[in-house]
């Protein structure tokens, strides 16, 4: 087995390190955030991700997985150094590479033997070359060689462990094919399809993939808006479209839009890359505009049903941007709360796991302990995140407890006729 260093213990880094350890490799995960590392040493997970805690615990106990804040300790003797740090968007959409540069400079300071630097962070095309320049400046002084390989991640929050262990594909890109093939050997136990290409193409594959998935979401939401005007049901429309093998059913669920740490920033970053290179990315701009519009539709539907939201109590079910995660970054809930508060509404909210993260971001919201207490006495109920828990609620009990039986189903998880039979004034997304 080869020694692996993983820099960054966020969703990508921690999952990558834990899963490589589970495949039998000795792995050291590094992060400069001391609190995160101390939590991991105590067996506490800094993020919510199904199945991750079990894998981390198992490999820590086996001695294959360790955590540190020391670059010297983590890099020493490592055959592969995976960089999985955050690349947040700047105001104009450009990916902020300060953490990537800091990681590269820190590696350069302590690297004493040949290693393959593997970039897992989502970065603009050409970043691999920039990282190489940083390392070359140091390497020339001390005579240490290295190779750079791009290995973009395709992990979906909520299923990241599954996605790593059963990937659709592994993409690798570099200037030295031998280095890429060495990284490929790490993935051989997964029996995945492996694509080896050049450095910049690998970087572009990640952005193009996420932008395409975001486009599918915005496309079906555009269709949903039309369905409402012409009296069609977008769920049936999507099902009919999905029967075509050229189209498929994935990412054709109409709702209040995408969020999270990937799609929003990656579409923005790709748009920025296109603009600075003289392109005209009107499709990408439309994808983002439609996504923003879907959050505004919630307020429009509440106005239609309540007349005004001023002074009304609006209950939100779900705060995370999607089920099975505690991530509230770019979540629809944030936009909806701010829109409602700007018009004087009182907000109550509940999420099975994301409440603590939401509490730090959303001020003036009353956070409740379950769905039933959230809905009690409310003028309207908005389904924001399609947790399975919400699909199994006793909706008759919910209806009986509300001041007014108004339901905006932002993810189309309820059947309109059943809700109306329970007395709800129901509005879905694109349900005719």
Residue 96, pLDDT score: 86
Give the mean pLDDT of 60-72: 97
Predicted TM-score (pTM) of the model is 0.93
Q: pLDDT confidence of 432, banded at 50, 70, 90?
A: confident
Catalytic residues: 262
Q: Which helix (H) or strand (E) holds 82?
A: strand 80-83
Compute the distance between CA of residue 301 and CA of residue 32 in angstroms, rounded to an integer. 45
Q: Is the pLDDT of residue 326 over 80?
A: yes
Of 2-11, 141-150, 260-269, 405-414, which gets the smallest average pLDDT? 141-150
Q: What are the structural domain ranges in the chain?
A: 4-197, 232-427
Helix H or strand E segment including 118? strand 115-119
- CB atoms under 10 Å from CB of 204, counted, come to 20
Q: What is the pLDDT of residues 338-361, one digit of tens each?
A: 999 999 999 999 999 999 999 999
- Considering the domain 232-427 in this protein, what is its CATH number? 3.40.50.720
Closest CA to 54 of 83, 19, 78: 19
Mean pLDDT of 114-124: 93
β-bridge partners, 7: 30, 83
pLDDT at 1 over 90: no
The dihedral formed by the CA atoms of 195, 197, 201 and 207, expressed in degrees to the nearest 10: 20
| Both tokens assigned to 269 | 């970053």
Q: Residue 39: is its pLDDT beyond 60?
A: yes
How confident is the model over 407-419, as pLDDT tens digits?
Answer: 999 999 999 999 9
Range 4-197 has CATH code 3.40.50.720: yes
- The Cα–Cα gap between 350 and 355 comes to 7
Among the residue ranges 51-65, 77-91, 217-231, 271-285, the one predicted with the least confidence is: 77-91
Going by pLDDT thresholds of 50, 70 and 90, the confidence category of residue 142 is low
Provide the pLDDT for residue 427. 97
Q: Judge contact between 370 and 350, C-beta under 8 A.
A: yes
Q: Is it true that 4-197 and 232-427 share their CATH fold?
A: yes
């Amino acid at each position: 087995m080869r020694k692996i260093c993983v820099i960054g213990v966020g969703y990508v880094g921690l999952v990558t390190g834990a899963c490589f350890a589970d495949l039998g490799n000795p792995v050291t995960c590094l992060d400069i955030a001391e609190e995160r590392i101390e939590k991991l040493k105590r067996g506490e997970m800094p993020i919510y991700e199904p199945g991750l805690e079990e894998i981390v615990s198992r490999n820590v106990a086996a001695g294959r997985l360790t955590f540190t804040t020391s670059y010297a300790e983590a890099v020493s003797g490592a055959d592969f150094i995976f960089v999985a740090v955050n690349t947040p968007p700047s105001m104009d959409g450009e990916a902020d590479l300060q953490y990537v540069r800091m990681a590269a400079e820190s590696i350069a300071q302590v690297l004493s033997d040949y290693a393959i630097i593997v970039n897992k962070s989502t970065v603009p095309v050409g970043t691999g070359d920039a990282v190489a320049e940083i390392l070359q400046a140091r390497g020339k002084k001390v005579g240490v060689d290295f190779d750079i390989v791009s290995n973009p991640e395709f992990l979906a929050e909520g299923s990241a462990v599954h996605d790593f262990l059963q990937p659709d594909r592994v993409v690798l890109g570099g200037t030295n094919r031998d280095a890429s093939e060495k990284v490929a050997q790490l993935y051989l136990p997964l029996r995945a399809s492996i694509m080896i290409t050049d450095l910049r193409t690998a970087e572009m594959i990640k952005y193009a993939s996420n932008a395409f998935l975001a486009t599918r979401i915005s496309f079906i939401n555009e269709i949903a808006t039309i369905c409402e005007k012409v009296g069609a049901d977008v769920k049936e429309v999507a099902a009919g479209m999905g029967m075509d093998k050229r189209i498929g059913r994935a990412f054709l669920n109409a709702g209040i839009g995408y969020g999270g740490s990937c799609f929003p920033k990656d579409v923005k970053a790709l748009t920025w890359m296109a603009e600075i290179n003289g392109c005209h990315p009107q499709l990408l701009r439309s994808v983002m505009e439609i996504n923003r519009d879907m959050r505004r539709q919630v307020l429009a539907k509440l106005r239609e049903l309540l007349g005004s939201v001023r002074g009304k109590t609006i209950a939100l079910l779900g705060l995370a941007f999607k089920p099975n995660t505690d991530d509230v970054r770019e979540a629809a809930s944030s936009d909806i709360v701010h829109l409602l508060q700007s018009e004087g509404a009182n907000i109550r909210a509940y999420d099975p796991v994301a409440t603590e993260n939401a509490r730090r971001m959303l001020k003036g919201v009353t956070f409740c302990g379950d769905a039933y207490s959230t809905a009690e006495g409310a003028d309207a109920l908005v389904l924001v995140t399609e947790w399975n828990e919400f699909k199994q609620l006793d909706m008759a009990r919910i209806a009986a407890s509300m001041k007014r039986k108004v339901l905006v189903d932002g993810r189309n998880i309820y059947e309109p006729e059943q809700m109306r039979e329970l007395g709800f004034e129901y509005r879905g997304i694109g349900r005719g």
